[in-house]
Structure formats: structure tokens, C-alpha cells
Amino acid sequence: MTNPLLSHWDTPFEIAPFDRIKDEDFAPAFETALAQHNAEIDAIAANPEAPTFANTIEALEAAGEAMDKVLSVFFTVAGADSNPEREKLQRDFSPKLAAHFAAISSNKPLFKRVADLWARKDDLGLSEEQQRVLMLTHRGFVRAGAALEGEADKRMAEIKGRLATLGTQFTQNLLADEREWFMEVGEEDLEGLPDFVVGTMRAAGREKGVEGPIVTTSRSIITPFLQFSPRRNLREKAYKAFVARGANGGDHDNRDIAAEILKLREERAKLLGYDNFAAYKLETEMAKTPDKVEELLLAVWQPAKVRAEEDAKVLEAMMHKDGINGGLEAWDWHYYAAKRRKAEHDLDEAALKPYLQLDRMIEAAFACANRLFGLEFKPLDVALYHPDCRGWEVTRNGKHVAVFIGDYFARGSKRSGAWCSAMRAQAKFPKVQAPVVINVCNFAKADPALLSYDDARTLFHEFGHALHQMLSDVTYESISGTSVARDFVELPSQLYEHWLEVPAVLEEFATHAETGEPMPKAMLDKVLGAANFDQGFQTVEYVASALVDLEFHKGAAPVDPMTMQAEVLERLGMPKQIAMRHATPQFAHVFSGDGYSSGYYSYMWSEVMDADAFEAFEEAGDPFDPAKAKALEAHILSTGGSKEAEDLYTAFRGRMPGVEALLKGRGLAA
């Protein structure tokens, strides 16, 4: 019987046939695809003909189709619907993949062909896009260590293999801690909790096989629990469990793993001739240097810290008024901030939530994409990897553009957070292929599913990433969609969040779950008026994480990352009532792989641009201005990594922005 992962997918739009794929199919398909890719690479490297763009660079672009199919399915389910078998496969696959790609990057005959083309680049008659692909391919080989010889070459391969194993272990440890810890709550402890929170807690209890409601460390449960529960002792217990993830001792402790990862990254950078890992990593980003990153983060840190300290005094006074003596603690912040928001903005999360139905917010994201870019979304009846998933065909002027999949609900088998990935990226070579894009979120499951305002913002954020994938219009997959500098990749996603705050969008789509009535004008005004509420707290917890990440990578690797984390926070004067958004043992952005390592700052770098980019629409007098939308698609959303990020942004806006728009947008301007 043919392995469904390796056969032609005779499904609508060639979506993976999830209903026919079994866990036991992955390992044999992986081995077959790996061998096939090796044979393709060997054939390119051993080609007796002189190197040409077609027989070397385009041949590399075309190689690995079977690998892409197998891995796109596997990593989708491993992240969003894991089980012990998939976790074991991930531990098996990671070092093999690292060794495989290390072997490609250290293939001397192959690199010789690429280097030969690079030396003759001006005489090859290449298009602008082909020149870009050649440059990126050559640079990728050099940065991967292709020019290393002997022991250095061998050591680089060992480092990559070990890092892949450690990254997988870090992620699985975190998932295990999140899955295993929960706190049973008695009926008497539900006082003050809105119905939607209690319903979510009861559903979580049923999932764990527990009679009655529970608190878990899923953000979709713990955040509203911290906001609404008047039981300070329970808030403290839940909060301490949340911040201790990955640092509980035993088999799932991530602290030693983080230390080893940092040490190996430093060694890797030095093998390639860089002073430190941050210098290596940032060379290809917009920021270029650690100093520039630090300059941006500190410019935002100071006003944010001042605001947070002012807010802490107000919240502490509220707590004392409640008869609780002593200082405000981290597990008190959400509770009193929610009370303060209700008092100052008359905005009650429990009253707001029924107006933010998941289905209506999905419609809102689609409607904005229709008004801006002419996209239309039609539900698809196809088998996907989990019953919670939904699919849509995306068209424009009747022509197929993409398939979009949404997987919105939290569950024990899904890692925390929210993300977007392309199960198939857009390309025109070696054949035309339309993208299959997925958004994965962790919203509380209920009927109807109701979102917090932050949840709704997350939905728009991930859909902004999806648009970057869906509207991509380049020839080569290696520069398609979100294949851009890390500190540019968050621009489309963060920019798209702004359309959630367009009053006309909420007026149309924020309708009450029971009555169907639109959000009252007074509430809408309060929502928009409170958009910058608690920005001191939110900015401090984020910037602290980004500065710790940078410090980890810009010098000698710390022997004990937790000690260095404490030293950085002490030096910054971190308010004691606020924790880093991601402490080291749970900082998956930085330690599950290289993606955001010394790059967590990139959300803020992109925010400088997104604040400025949305101002372009405001200056035009219309958030849906057709000319600006067309320019946004032409210069940013459709272009992938076909040009330098700075050139793409400048083509759209005419200049690069300063930090002022960001401070103004966060309400932190002097």
C-alpha cells in the first residue's frame, strides 16, 4: 500500500489527506524523502557540466519536494496536536534533519558550484529576483559554515545536531509542564469569576478527567483567572506555577538546556569568525548590530518603566483600600488593573466579551482583507488534522489564491502561543503552486466561543502573517511569503492589528452573542479609549524579555543564564511587581530554535514601522484607502524576501520611520 505522505494528493487544492495519514506513516516517509533529497543534492554537486543558474541554483530550489510534503504535515501536527508517538518522532527527526542540512551546507563540490556562480554573478544575465536568490543562497552556505575545513567543519556539524536535539527537548519539557500542572478549584472559589471563565475552567477539568473546574497554565485560562478571582491565595498559587514552567527540577527542567544552547551558539559564531552570536545573527537583519537593537529597546524602556511605576502606586493604593496590607505583588497586578480599567474607563471584560465572538472576529478579519485586497473566503469541506480545524478557499476575482486553515482552540496536545505557518508556500518554479496557510491560536473553547480584546488582536495579528503568505507573488519558494528578515516579518502582522481598532469594523462585527445587537456606541468608545490602558506593564514585560535575550547572545555565554537574567533585570531596575513576559526556562521563542534568538526585539522593531505604516492610511483619510492598500500589497505583502527589507519599506512609505510613532501609538510619548 502506498504511503499517503508520498503519493499524489488527489484532494481539493492538493491539501494533505489528513484522514488517510497515520502516525506510523511518518517515519518511513521521512526516511524515503530524506534519501530522495540526498540523491537530488548529490546529482547537483556531481553534475559534470559547468555551473549555471539553472543547473545549480534552480536545481536546489526544485530539490526536496517530498521532504517538504512530509515535514509540512508532521510539524503541523507535532506543534498543534501532539501525542507521545509524535513527540518521540520529533526527538528522532530533529538530529537527523540537523545532520542532513549540515551535510548539504558542508558539501564542498556543491559550495564550489555556488561560489563559482557568485564570482561570475555580473556576467550571468540574471533578473533582479535571480540575483537576490543567488546572493541569499551563497550567503546561506557561508553562514552555515560551507567554507570551514577539517576539525572546524566537523565540529560545526556536531553543534547543529546537538542544538536541534536541545531545541526539541526544551519545547517538549515546556509542553509537559503546561500539560501536567493544574489546580482544582472548589465551587466556593468561583466567586467573582464571570460565566465565560467558569465555563472554560469546567471544560478544562473535563479534558483532564476531573470533576469540577480547574485552573491550568494555558494563557486562555490563567489570565482571566488572575483578572477576576478575588481569592488572592489562589491567584498566588496559579501565578507561581505559571512562571515556574520549565524550572521545576526533574526531567522537564529547562535551565541546564538553556545554558548549553547558549554555549553552543557562542561556539558556532566564533567558528564562523564572529565575536559573539548576536553579531552573527543580526548581520542579516534590518538592525545589523546589537548596539542598534539596544538603542531602540532602551529608548522605549525608560518611558515605559516610568509609566509602570506610576501605575503600580495606583494599584497598590486600591489594594490597601481593600484592606490588604503590604506591597503589590505580581499576582495582584491583573486583578487590580482590571478593577482600575472598569473604574476609569467603565470597561468590564465580562460585559465586553459577549460582543467579541470568535466567528464574528474571523468574519471581521476576512472582511478587512476583502476591502483592502479584494480577497474572498469560502468554507471548505475537507478532512483536516483535528475536528476543531476549519478551512476556507481564498479567491480574488474568481481566481484561486490560497487555502486558509484556522485552528483556534486551546487543548492539552497543542503548544502554547499563537503562530502562522505555510504548509505549502507560494512559488512559480519549478511549478506554479498556491499557498496553504494555517493560523494556530489558543482561545478558550466554549459555545459560543468568546474572545478577550487581546485574543481578538491576536487573531488579527496571525491573520496579518497569513496575508503575507497568501498574497506572495514571487518566482522562487526560498524568498516567498514570510521568508524575510526576522525584524521585518512582524510588520504585516502587527500592521493588520490596526484594522481591528477601526470603529467601522467593530460597529459591524462586534455583535452580542445572545441578542445579536451591535456593541453600544458608548462601549465602543470605551474600548478604543482604553486601547493604551496598562501599556506600561505590557511594554516593560516585553522589553525586559528582549533585553535579556540580547544580553544572553552579545557576549560570552553565561554559565548560569538565571543569574545573568537576574543581573540584567537588576541593572534595568525592573519593577518587582512585573515579571518578564517569557522567563528563560519557558522562553520558547529563543530556545526552541534559532528563529528569535537575539531577535525577540524584532516585534518592537517592526512596531516602529507598523505604527508609521498605518499613519499612511490615516494621512490618506481612509483606513481602507485603495491606493495605499495597493501600494502595501505591491511593495510589502507580495514581494516576500525579493529585496532588502529597508528598500521594501522605503518603497511603500518613502522613508524609514523613527521611534516617535511607536511611543505615540503606545501612549508613552512625553
Active site residues: 462
| CB-count exposure of residue 383 (10 Å: 0-12, 13-18, 19+) | middle
- How far is 440 from 76, CA to CA, in rounded Å? 9
Q: Give, in order, the Cα–Cα distances in Å from 150 to each of 107, 163, 510, 651.
A: 13, 20, 63, 45
Positions of E strands within 386-507: 390-396, 399-409, 419-424, 436-443
CB–CB of 217/242 below 8 Å?
Answer: yes
Q: Are 449 and 409 in contact (CB under 8 A)?
A: yes
Q: Facing residues of 394 across strands?
A: 377, 402
**Contact in structure between 521 and 528 (CB atoms under 8 Å):** no
Instruction: Give the C-alpha distances (Å, rounded to integers) separating 269 from 145, 160, 281, 557.
Output: 10, 12, 9, 11
What DSSP letter does each residue of 8-36 carry, written as one string? ---SGGG---GGG--HHHHHHHHHHHHHH
Rounded (5°) CA angle 294-299-302: 110
Beta partners for residue 439, in sequence order: 406, 420
Mind spelling out the 3-state secondary structure of 464-483?
HHHHHHHCCCCCCHHHCCCC
- In angstroms, the Cα distances linking 108 to 53, 80, 224, 283 are 18, 38, 55, 24
Residue 649 in contact with residue 656, Cβ under 8 Å?
Answer: yes
Instruction: Give me the numbers of helices (H) and strands (E) for the chain, helices first please.
Output: 27, 7
Give Cα 294 distance to the centre of its chain.
Answer: 22
Q: How far is CA 334 from the centre of its chain?
A: 24
Closest by Cα among 183, 242, 225 to 335: 225
| C-alpha 623 chain-centroid distance | 25
DSSP structure class, residue 294: H
Judge contact between 538 and 668, C-beta under 8 A.
no
C-alpha cell at 585: 526556562
Asked whether the beta carbons of 489 and 606 are under 8 A apart, the reply is: yes
| Burial label, 96 (beta-carbon count in 10 A; 0-12, 13-18, 19+) | middle
The backbone torsions φ and ψ at residue 440, rounded to the nearest 5 degrees and listed phi first, read -120, 125
